[in-house]
Amino acid sequence: MTSTPSRRAILTGLAATAGHAALAEAPLSTMRPPPRGVVTPRDGRTNELVAKSGVVGAVTFAVADAQTGEILDMRQQGRPMPPASTLKAVTSLYALDRLGADFRFETRVFADGEIVDGELKGDLCLVGGGDPTLTSDALADLSKVVAEAGISRISGRFLVWADALPRADRIDADQPEVVAYNPSYGGLNLNFNRVHFEWIPEGEKINITMQARSLRYSPETNVARMQMVDRSSPVYEYRKGMTADYWSVARGSLGKKAGARWLPVRFPALYAGDAFRSVARLNGLKLPFPQVSQTAPVGRVVGAAPSDALDQILTGMMRYSTNITAEAVGMTSSLVNDVPLGNLVGSGSRMAGWAETQFGTRRMTFRDHSGLGYDSEISARDMLEILRQGEGVEPLMKSLSVPDPNRTDGKPMAGVSAVAKTGTLNFVSALVGYMYTKSGRRLVFAILTADKQRRDSIPTEQRERPPGSRTWANRSRRLQKRLLSEWARQFERS
């Protein structure tokens, strides 16, 4: 396996600059400190729910009237807590404010040279614009446009350029090597920077493929390779090459049935270029293996592939909780004013500074935009204020049923509706969103729970499915639902 510096070691060296970025955008006036302690509702029922929940660790929450801002119930609401994927709600507001709902990413192809008898006398360059939703299907359509421009072959190099955004080979260094939700990122991404590993037994043989899979096109790739080996454990091992990911899998773990899983890609620009090369061949365009360009693209644009509008991208991100989408959208938002951005940590810090300015929040630490990293923290009160004052994130959230506490069959409360964003990491569970009571009263809430001591004690290689994490998460989710039910009952009317 590759040796990667710890996220915490990196943060130690970046702490000074990251902190200054947030302070540079602090509010001009001092905000009133949030109230402390616990506001006890009329019958103290929520404290009893927490005590009986079986959730070990910290349980914090805040719920307010969305119109007036009146805090109706809270528990340790000022305590910094890991937001997990609920941070994507903040990222959505950040992007909508900085970029606008109609913003689109664009992937382009530049031709540097003249076209003579179908041959480009020079280099062809696939230029990434940071689009986190680019697929092999979109590359196939783009290659057709380039071929229709009269190019069937090139005399120079096939280049890929990925420096529209900062690049790194993983979002968080403290995650297991094998998890697809922790891929690389940069200015040129493809299929969420995941490769599709599939195995199909045929008699005594097992056929394996590594594909850049999308709906219509699934080209095999040379940038991510798999080898079956005879060993008992581990199931997967990874080695980073000069231009390719080298994976191995324990043969016995594949079993006798066909199967598949996504694996992370660490060379996203070459991965995209290799897929473009494959689908371009179908359109009569022959290209050599790609090379990563270290300089900005030159020449003229001979093809472009715009993304969907930002509001559609954010809807997908919130629904499927795609981490790379959050990072690409967040970093693009941080670059709106063309201020250079060194890394993801700096971008998270800029988002924290923006939130302080916009909403008067305090003491937040954002190390990314997805919530995947262990070091991001926000209080329930600050999360609540961001959601209460922010505009545009509620329509992006998924519907959530609020169970009727008077029933045992799990059916929802009549006349009550809610939308929310969930967040889950090992021994971390969060739920934030909006709820409408029977009378139509709009509430905004944030529930953040975590057993950080237990989370931090898990060895990196066990963080995909650590023992006890599922039971803990289920208890936390049940508590979250019961809190919503109680609030819907107690705070039905203003």
DSSP letters along 207-240, please? EEEEE---SS---B-SSEEEEEE--SS-SEEEEE
Query: Tell me, what's the pLDDT at 43?
Result: 57
Tell me: do 287 and 167 sit in the same domain. yes
Same domain, residue pair 399 and 344: yes
User: 179 in a domain, yes or no?
Assistant: yes
Specify the pLDDT at position 32.
39
Residue 116 within a domain: yes
Write down the pLDDT at residue 88: 98
Q: Which residues pair with 399 in a beta bridge?
A: 419
Q: Which domain holds residue 154?
A: 105-307
Q: Are residues 142 and 268 in the same domain?
A: yes
- Say whether both 275 and 129 belong to one domain: yes
Comparing C-alpha atoms, which of 242, 235, 171 is closest to residue 197?
235
Report the CATH number that the domain containing residue 382 is assigned in CATH.
3.40.710.10
Report the pLDDT value the prediction gives residue 463, as an integer from 0 to 100: 84
pLDDT of residue 132: 98
Handedness of CA 112, 118, 121, 125 (dihedral sign): positive
Instruction: Note down pLDDT in tens along the chain; length 494 residues.
Output: 333 333 333 333 333 333 333 323 333 333 434 444 445 455 578 999 999 999 999 999 999 999 999 999 999 999 999 999 999 999 999 999 999 999 999 999 999 999 999 999 999 999 999 999 999 999 999 999 999 999 999 999 999 999 999 999 999 998 999 999 999 999 999 999 999 999 999 988 999 999 999 999 999 999 999 999 999 999 999 999 999 999 999 999 999 999 999 999 999 999 999 999 999 999 999 999 999 999 999 999 999 999 999 999 999 999 999 999 999 999 999 999 889 999 999 999 999 999 999 999 988 999 999 999 989 999 999 999 999 999 999 999 999 999 998 888 889 999 999 999 999 999 999 999 999 999 999 999 999 999 999 999 998 878 888 999 999 999 999 999 999 999 999 999 98
Boundary (domain end) residue, out of 290, 307, 324 = 307
Q: Specify the CATH number for the domain of residue 246.
A: 3.50.80.20
User: Residue 462: what pLDDT?
Assistant: 82
Beta carbons of 26 and 357 less than 8 angstroms apart: yes
Listing DSSP states for 335-398 in one string gives TTT------HHHHHHHHHHHHHHHH---S-B-SSSSS-STT-BB-HHHHHHHHHH--SSGGGSE
Which of residues 307, 332, 351 is at a domain's end?
A: 307
Separation between Cα atoms, residue 280 and residue 152, nearest integer Å: 9
Specify whether 92 is located in the same domain as 168: no
Last residue of a domain, one of 258, 288, 307: 307
Whether 293 and 362 map to the same domain: the answer is no
Q: State whether 254 and 362 are in the same domain.
A: no
Total residue length of the chain = 494
Tell me, yes or no, whether 151 lies in a domain.
Answer: yes
The pLDDT value given to residue 117: 97
Same structural domain, 466 and 439:
yes
Q: Is residue 136 part of a domain?
A: yes
In Å, how far are 205, 454, 473 from 450, measured between CA atoms? 46, 9, 9
- Res 465: pLDDT: 85
On whether residue 233 sits in a domain, the answer given is yes
Do 170 and 130 share a domain, yes or no? yes
**DSSP label of 469:** H
Residue 284 inside a domain? The answer is yes
pLDDT at site 42: 52
Residue 400 CA: distances (Å) to CA of 18, 75, 241, 265, 446: 36, 22, 45, 33, 14
The answer to whether residues 259 and 114 belong to one domain is yes
Domain count, the chain: 2
334 and 397 co-located in one domain: yes
Q: What are phi and psi of 383, to 5 degrees?
A: -60, -45
**How many C-beta neighbours within 10 Å does residue 418 have?**
24
Same domain, 370 and 252: no
Q: What is the pLDDT of residue 20?
A: 31
Q: Is 176 inside a domain boundary?
A: yes
In a domain, 1, yes or no: no
